[in-house]
């Protein structure tokens, strides 16, 4: 009897050990990697479809003077909704090495600017001399006052509706962009699991990756003389991304940490132009889009699993942060700032004084819309559920919030001091920045974004072979 008990105990220990190893072999979703040339599986292939919905809101203010004191003046509320269907294929090519191809298809991208009337029923527009304005309309909007869009103090025609090509004559909306859609980029990437906990449960899973998101589709542009002509979503630059992620499962708890860096490279003819001509410098204080770097840390809590059937359910929590370095960007104002293709000289009615040219200039050109932008950080997090229903299918859902730090979005430097006198002479074409505009870039005139919130929902499904 004693021998039988010992044998049964030994078998139970062996089974538990096997199940324990099987459980610990599974890594977090962020460190999942395909493989090839394994004895029991010569080739891995995953097909993934993911839907991302984002809703972004922000307040846009402008530096100014109120009652003799420098302040930030209320102006606009920015709104954007975006739906993206991302299609991705992963192929295993070597032991713990996989390559992937992806193509994010933007189903709809809608953007608008509205007068800041967030005070609701308590709105005061300052129409009387003794009133302090708490809300904005066409009579006190800084966007209209700066000449970026027409209609300052005009009761019946202000702003621009890109879908009709006409101004607004009522309501709080001052700018409505076109509905954009299409493929954003073509992504190619490679991942290598330097260590893989599935093979050696004494080590973490350590993933190294490189992605090239190539700007091979039509770039987004905006022409105020034909506002509905371009509905593309291409960014105008390639993105080269290096990343590393580590995860280590401890029984039912699987924490992870990752970091990444993105280097943008302008494409020829994009809205991120270098305005140097014929060997003459444009003295731009920034030419390239903003570089970015970020970190993420989180964990998966295993709620239930059946290792023998390749089934499990995990709850995931993630925190993330991104640094946007100083550079040019398509900010919340970029479409409104973009000029008309009919702007050819300061005498042209299509050219906006102070935007498409500075006072006193003898030449003019449509302002590109993208602006030099102050560096800022973004912070946020996600919570969600991961479900693997068997060997061949898994699903993931994440709900998140991202918040941007307040930052200036019209932040061009005046130019380059080439005489060594410690200042930039704005009247000297060899020193002044060709894109610098006093009306939006001079301290006391700049536009600033505050209170940015980006809510997101990601739903993802994969078929695995």
- pLDDT tens profile 222-248: 999 999 999 999 999 999 999 999 999
The model's confidence at residue 41, banded by pLDDT at 50, 70 and 90, is confident
The model's confidence at residue 429, banded by pLDDT at 50, 70 and 90, is confident
- CA–CA gap between residue 449 and residue 113 (Å, rounded): 13
Report phi then psi at 142, rounded to 5: -70, -30
Q: What is the CA radius of gyration of the chain?
A: 27
DSSP string, 274-318: ---BTTB----S--SBPPEEEEEEEEEEEEEEEGGGTEEEEEEEE
| Euclidean distance between the first and the last CA atom of the chain, given in angstroms as a whole number | 47
What pLDDT does 118 receive?
96
What angle is formed at CA 407 by the lines to CA 132 and CA 379, rounded to 5 degrees? Answer: 115
Residue scoring higher pLDDT (133 or 317): 317
Across 306-313, average pLDDT = 95
Report phi then psi at 379, rounded to 5: -130, 145
Tens digit of each residue's pLDDT (9 = 90 or more) over 162-210: 999 999 999 999 999 999 999 999 999 999 999 999 999 999 999 999 9
What angle is formed at CA 407 by the lines to CA 405 and CA 412, rounded to 5 degrees? Answer: 155
What pLDDT does 279 receive?
64
Across 127-134, average pLDDT = 77
**Residue percentage of the chain with pLDDT more than 90:** 84
Judge whether residue 280 has pLDDT over 90: no
What pLDDT does 6 receive?
44
Cα–chain center distance at 232: 16
Across 330-339, average pLDDT = 98
Q: For strand 393-404 and strand 376-388, is the pairing parallel, antiparallel, or unpaired?
A: antiparallel
**Among 257, 210, 258, 259, CA closest to 238:** 210
Judge whether residue 382 has pLDDT over 80: yes
Judge whether residue 19 has pLDDT over 80: no
Cα–chain center distance at 113: 18
pTM metric for this prediction: 0.92
Judge whether residue 67 has pLDDT over 90: no
Cβ atoms of 110 and 81 closer than 8 Å: yes
What pLDDT does 127 receive?
73
**Range list of H helices, 113-246:** 142-145
Cβ atoms of 375 and 323 closer than 8 Å: yes
**DSSP-assigned letter for residue 121:** G
Tens digit of each residue's pLDDT (9 = 90 or more) over 254-274: 999 999 999 999 998 899 999
148-160 burial string, b = 16+ CB within 10 Å, else e? Answer: bbebbeeeeebbb
Judge whether residue 418 has pLDDT over 50: yes
Judge whether residue 443 has pLDDT over 50: yes
What pLDDT does 10 receive?
44
Percent of the chain as helix, strand, coil, to the nearest 5 = 10, 45, 45
Q: Which two tokens stand for residue 368?
A: 């590109």
Average pLDDT over the chain reads: 92
- CA–CA gap between residue 80 and residue 450 (Å, rounded): 15
**Residue percentage of the chain with pLDDT more than 70:** 93
- CA–CA gap between residue 50 and residue 44 (Å, rounded): 19
Count of CB atoms situated within 10 Å of the CB of 300: 26
335: left (phi over 0), alpha (psi -120 to 50) or beta: alpha
Residue 137, exposed/middle/buried by CB under 10 A (0-12, 13-18, 19+)?
buried
What pLDDT does 1 receive?
41
Residue 58, exposed/middle/buried by CB under 10 A (0-12, 13-18, 19+)?
buried
What pLDDT does 37 receive?
87
Count of CB atoms situated within 10 Å of the CB of 330: 22
**DSSP-assigned letter for residue 163:** T
The model's confidence at residue 8, banded by pLDDT at 50, 70 and 90, is very low
Q: For strand 158-161 and strand 173-176, is the pairing parallel, antiparallel, or unpaired?
A: parallel
- Number of Cα atoms under 13 Å in the Cβ half of residue 283: 20
Judge whether residue 137 has pLDDT over 90: yes
- CA–CA gap between residue 215 and residue 236 (Å, rounded): 6
**Among 298, 88, 378, 74, CA closest to 213:** 88
What pLDDT does 15 receive?
36
- CA–CA gap between residue 464 and residue 401 (Å, rounded): 30
DSSP string, 37-71: --SS-SB-EEEEEEEEEEEEEEEEEEEEEETTEEE
Cβ atoms of 455 and 401 closer than 8 Å: yes
In which residue are the tokens 């889009």 written?
A: 289
**DSSP-assigned letter for residue 352:** P
Judge whether residue 79 has pLDDT over 90: yes
What pLDDT does 132 receive?
81
What pLDDT does 393 receive?
97
Cβ atoms of 235 and 219 closer than 8 Å: yes
């Amino acid at each position: 009897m004693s021998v039988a008990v010992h044998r049964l105990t030994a078998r139970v220990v062996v089974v538990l050990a096997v199940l324990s190893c099987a459980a610990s072999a599974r890594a977090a979703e962020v460190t999942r990697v395909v493989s090839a040339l394994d004895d029991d599986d010569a080739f891995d292939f995953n097909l993934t479809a993911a839907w991302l919905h984002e809703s972004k809101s922000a307040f846009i203010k402008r530096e100014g003077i109120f009652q003799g004191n420098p302040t930030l003046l209320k102006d606009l509320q920015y709104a954007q909704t975006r739906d993206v269907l991302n299609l991705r294929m992963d192929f295993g090519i070597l032991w713990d090495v996989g390559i992937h191809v992806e193509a994010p298809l933007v189903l709809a991208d809608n953007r608008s600017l509205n007068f800041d009337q967030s005070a609701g029923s308590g709105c005061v527009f300052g129409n009387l001399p003794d009133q302090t304005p708490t809300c904005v309309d066409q009579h006190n909007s800084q966007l209209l006052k700066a000449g970026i869009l027409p209609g300052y103090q005009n009761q019946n025609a202000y702003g621009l509706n890109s879908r009709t090509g006409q101004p607004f004559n009522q309501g709080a909306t001052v700018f409505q962009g076109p509905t954009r859609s299409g493929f954003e980029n073509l992504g190619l990437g490679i991942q290598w699991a330097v260590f893989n906990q599935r093979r050696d449960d004494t080590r973490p899973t350590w993933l190294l990756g490189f992605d090239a998101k190539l700007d091979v589709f039509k770039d987004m542009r905006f022409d105020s003389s034909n506002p509905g002509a371009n509905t593309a979503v291409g960014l105008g630059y390639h993105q080269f991304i290096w990343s590393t992620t580590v995860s280590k499962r401890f029984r039912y708890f699987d924490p992870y940490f990752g970091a990444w860096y993105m280097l943008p490279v302008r494409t020829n003819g994009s809205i991120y132009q270098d305005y140097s001509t014929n060997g003459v410098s444009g003295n731009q204080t920034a030419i390239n889009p903003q570089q970015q770097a970020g970190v993420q840390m989180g964990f998966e809590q295993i709620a239930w699993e059946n290792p023998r059937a390749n089934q499990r359910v995990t709850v995931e929590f993630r925190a993330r942060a991104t640094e946007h370095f100083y550079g040019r960007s398509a900010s919340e104002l970029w479409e409104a700032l973009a000029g008309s293709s009919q702007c050819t000289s300061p005498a042209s009615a299509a050219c906006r004084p102070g935007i498409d040219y500075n006072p006193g200039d003898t030449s003019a050109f449509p302002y590109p819309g993208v602006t030099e932008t102050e560096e800022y950080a973004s912070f946020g997090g996600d919570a969600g559920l991961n479900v693997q229903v068997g060997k061949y299918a898994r699903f993931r859902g994440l709900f998140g919030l991202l918040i941007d730090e307040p930052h200036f979005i019209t932040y061009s430097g005046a130019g380059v001091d080439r005489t060594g006198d410690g200042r930039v002479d704005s009247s000297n074409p060899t020193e002044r920045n060709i894109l610098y505009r006093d009306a939006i870039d001079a301290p006391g005139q700049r536009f600033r974004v505050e209170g940015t919130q980006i809510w997101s929902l990601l739903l993802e499904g994969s078929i695995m072979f």
